[in-house]
Structure 1
Amino acid sequence: MKVEDFDFHLPEELIAQTPLLDRASSRLMVVNPFTMEIEHHQFGHILDELQAGDCLVLNDTKVLPARLMGTKEDTGAGIELLLLKQTGNDEWETLVKPAKRVKIGTVITFGGGLLKATCTGMLEHGGRSFKFSYDGIFYEILEKLGEMPLPPYIREKLEDQDRYQTVYARERGSAAAPTAGLHFTQELLEQIKNKGVHVVFVTLHVGLGTFRPVSVDSIEDHDMHSEFYSVTEEAAEVINRTKQSGGKVVSVGTTSTRTLETIASKYNGEIRAEQGWTNIFIYPGYEYKAIDGLITNFHLPKSTLVMLVSALAGKETILHAYNEAVKEKYRFFSFGDAMYIRPRNNR
């Protein structure tokens, strides 16, 4: 299967640069994957799509303010660090700009010396590993010095950093937000619960590998980067019980989806409590084992995320929906609008 098969025309002006003031006021495209019918709503309509006994699964990861601006201790040259993955006590894998200025042993200071980082290793794609030193609590210092690592296609400055967090974010560790969840407010979540819908949380710490361009011609040759996930006993029990009783499991975002499908693929469709690393790559031909419906944003052309939603709804249906979204001027990507792919036998 060719990467080019998942291309579509996207005018640059449709890439949302700023979040809406009201999270739930974004638009919602509802797609029936079996008839290719499309409906246009506001996001609050999701309440009408969910029924008592269904289960809504959200990713509660919290984005770290992982972009740090510092200087080389010896020359004063400016260096930008992006924290990707913690590998040990105060040890992190990072991306560096400009990477050519940073060798093993290079010391970078941040905030006038509040935080220091010593390069301990060279990684691929301009990456470096660092050992950090500081007085106090690392995450408190990071909150003071760091910036949100917005995707490169967002060029506007984010005035309110919390708008790149979901309202239910609690487990620190992501380099990017699980953006399908940005549309939910606490009020909307309460309305969903009051309707009798089970709301559960899983954790997948989003790495930049999720958004890495596919640089091969054939999608079967693409390798996904690994990301850490965790599912509790309580969440697993609710999801399994929902499926056994005939309810629908609706995943919020591709990250929640990849978490559930990683586990379900190992245990014949059952969800079990566990944590680990996943590099699951879902594309057409994959048979979904855990989820029935999916709430997701509109993604980049030729991206692994477009391939994942195409595996659920069908490539022709998704490309038809995306062309309709362009025609109707939906907002795309992280701060954009949402799509709901209805489950089979939607009640």
Structure 2
Amino acid sequence: MKYQIRKKAILLLEDGTVFWGKVIGDQEGSSFGEVCFNTGMTGYQEIFTDPSYYGQLMVTTNAHIGNYGTYSEEVESEDIKIAGLICKNFSYNYSRDKADLSLEEFLKKNNLLAISDVDTRALVAYIRDNGAMNAVISTKIDDLDALKKELADKPSMKGLELASKVSTKEPYFIGNANATYKIAALDIGIKKNILRNLASRDCYIKVFPYNSTYEQMNEWNPNGYFLSNGPGDPEPLSEAIEVAKNILKNDKPLFGICLGHQVIALANGVSTYKMHNGHRGINHPVKNLVTGKGEVTSQNHGFAVNKEELEANKNLEITHLHLNDDTVAGLRMKNKNCFSVQYHPEASPGPHDASYLFDQFIENINQSKA
């Protein structure tokens, strides 16, 4: 344990509410983003590197963060994607043999501003009541007026296109080139474990940048198409929506996860909306309406598909519902080889309830070949 005098830090919400804490390590300055919370008891490294969290200040509800360090193989992208970390108790020491860095070292390596000693229970209760909003964490505690002014100029997550910030710049390949199936994946914030799950099912994946066209993807002659997870509002993703429309027009097998799920809905004329808080955690209950079974799922999204519009669309049906608030957790098209889910079947934070969805995608491809 490190014994040192730690600098005071502040969390300032856009409505003027203030929470106090202390900075972790020797980082200084300010970091802005939409404040949100994740209820997972573990998996902080995967959360921090998930591209879907780009531009967000992450509040971890677990009381202790950092106690098992970090491991280089357990990342979802090349670097940290959250804008900042807010926690209660930060563990400078760790007790996991496999770990290769402490969380403090990992944060410093990625130049991430983080604060601890925050009353996270009060903070989460406040966000739950008042909704997700922009905020800033800062060591500049003596100039709150300047922070408030700078915070007021930050754009809302509603209407914000962020896929371009996290997508690959050039296409790349994952898996065995001699695999049975070729998958064209549109990267609008893709997680590495999604690619691992596809590759483990005898897939060779070509990952395309967010602004790729259907023609560019189809030129590779894939057996199926995948639309990834990602950050921000789905509505500004006009290029991805157009890709989805063309895939469906040509009746190709299509699977979407999270942001990709929302893009598929938008391609079918069904709108999306910003949620009051969103779903972020590893134990969200979902009911599969096709099988009648319940699933424990990992979720991370601040936008959702309009349920009433989906139900009114004769070509779509709801396949999964979130049992906490009855929001849409999955859909499929009745007249096309296409389905999607709002949650993360690749995450497997303990249960593997949803991994069958990758098998379903492969089965859909086989059916299209027949």
TM-score by length of 1: 0.32
**Structure in which a larger fraction of residues adopt helix:** 1
